[in-house]
Amino acid sequence: MSNLQQNSGRSAFDIPTSDVMTQLPTQFFATLVQNVNHEIASGHDVINLGQGNPDTPTPPHIVKTLQESAENPLYHKYSPFSGHAFLKEAIAKRYQEDYNVDLDPETEVAILFGGKTGLVQLPQVLLNPGDVCLVPDPGYPDYWSGVALAKAQMSFMPLLESNAFLPDYEAISDEVRDKAKLMYLNYPNNPTSATAPLSFYEDTVEFAIRNKIVIASDFAYGAIGFDGHRPVSFLQAPGAKEVGIEFYTLSKTYNMAGWRVGFALGNAEIISKINLLQDHIYVSLFGGIQAAAAAALTSSQQCVTELVARYESRRNALYEALSSIGWVASKPGGSFFSWLPVPSGFTSAEFADLLLREAKVAVAPGIGFGTHGEGYVRAGLLSDEKRLEEAARRIGKLNLFK
């Protein structure tokens, strides 16, 4: 039998790998997921606060719109390349209502396959090899992937508790400012749960103009603000559209993480570049999903109010329980994460391992988000109050905070 007929499943020759694939960052959290799965497979009741997947379902009116739209033959055809006008109009209307920001649906909105796709595409449409991208540390690891795919370089902006987890622009050297072409920001922040005031974005616009740096504001948790405060959008700062864009996603606002609907909003030149790249890769989202996404954005926002109230109630329950075991941390102002200091004597990875092994509670070690994430672990508010209190009770039994 010849090699071809044997069909062993092994490659007949060395399959090539592009250099860029070898440059992709390693997936730090893959090991954590494996360890959690191992504990669960061994029969343990693990309280998993390590991930960022919304735990409650998409509101029924949105699901119903998808069900009905699935029968519309119009949506069985290719969607328009850059998506349906009605969806772009719906997000523009939402920004007008929620943030008093004007967006031209035709030129200032790009529809994305989830926010992640746009965040990873952006360096590919703006940067050349050797260009520098300013990235928050700690930060969402997908920024690193986009920069690697563009063969650009990262320069990290430390987010320190002493500076309210905002970057200190004064600390960025002249050399980095010269080479930097793009900066990612993300408030409410993953992982630190910090929020940013409008004055910070005003300073950011000024810094961007002075140094010719495009700003990419990742507003994934834009809907989730506590204690009566709606998080500020970067686009609310005067001049923001002249220097950058904002990424918005339906994943967290409407529990639609699996639906993959996101947007890039703002500077028309950047939006057209994103649309151009996407024209070469995709033909927009399934029309039925676009119809359901538009329904989410244009119908009553009561479901969002209820979701935010749920996270706030969980936050309060968790922090009360943590303080009763002596684990002191400042309460998050937004997002669905808590950023908790690691007790002395442990690295964040050692501490997360210990909590998983001894308390069967999974948290994400801060080091996975960057060097300046060391000293913290991230816990999600993605279980109900009882489970969060139970997590704190189990951790309390380890007597680590007395």
Ligand X SMILES: Cc1ncc(COP(=O)(O)O)c(C=O)c1O
CB of 10 to ligand X, least distance (A): 35
CB of 29 to ligand X, least distance (A): 11
Q: Of 311, 302, 326, which is closest to residue 379 (Cα–Cα)?
A: 311
Shortest distance, position 246 Cβ to ligand X, whole Å: 11
- Closer CB to ligand X, residue 140 or residue 376? 140
The DSSP symbol for 110 reads: E
Going from the C-alpha of 30 to that of each of 22, 35, 120, 351, the distances in angstroms are 17, 9, 19, 17
Q: Six-digit token pair at 31?
A: 């090991």
Nearer to ligand X by Cβ, of 186 and 233: the residue is 186
Q: Which of 87, 54, 56 is nearest to 221 (CA)?
A: 54
Q: Which of 232, 286, 224, 221 is nearest to 259 (CA)?
A: 286
CB atoms within 10 A of CB 327: 18
Beta pairing class for 153-158 and 132-137: parallel
Nearer to ligand X, 82 or 400 (CB): 82
Residue whose CB is less far from ligand X, 250 or 395: 250
Least distance between ligand X and beta carbon 320 (Å): 26
What is the contact surface with ligand X in residues (CB under 6 A)? 52, 114-116, 119, 140, 186, 190, 218, 220, 249, 251, 257, 262
Specify the residue, 218 or 390, whose C-beta has the smaller distance to ligand X: 218
Shortest CB 284 distance to ligand X, Å: 16
Distances (CA, A) of 333 to 96, 228, 372: 23, 10, 20
Among residues 98 and 142, whose Cβ is nearest to ligand X?
Answer: 142
Backbone angles phi, psi at 125, to 5 degrees: -95, -15
* Percent helix / strand / coil, the chain, rounded to 5: 50, 15, 40
Provide, rounded to whole angstroms, the least separation between the CB of residue 262 and ligand X.
Answer: 4
Q: How far is the CB of 356 from ligand X (least distance, A)?
A: 21
Region of 317 on the Ramachandran plot (φ > 0 left; ψ -120 to 50 alpha; else beta): alpha
Nearer to ligand X, 195 or 396 (CB): 195
Torsion of CA 48, 51, 57, 62, to 10 degrees: 180
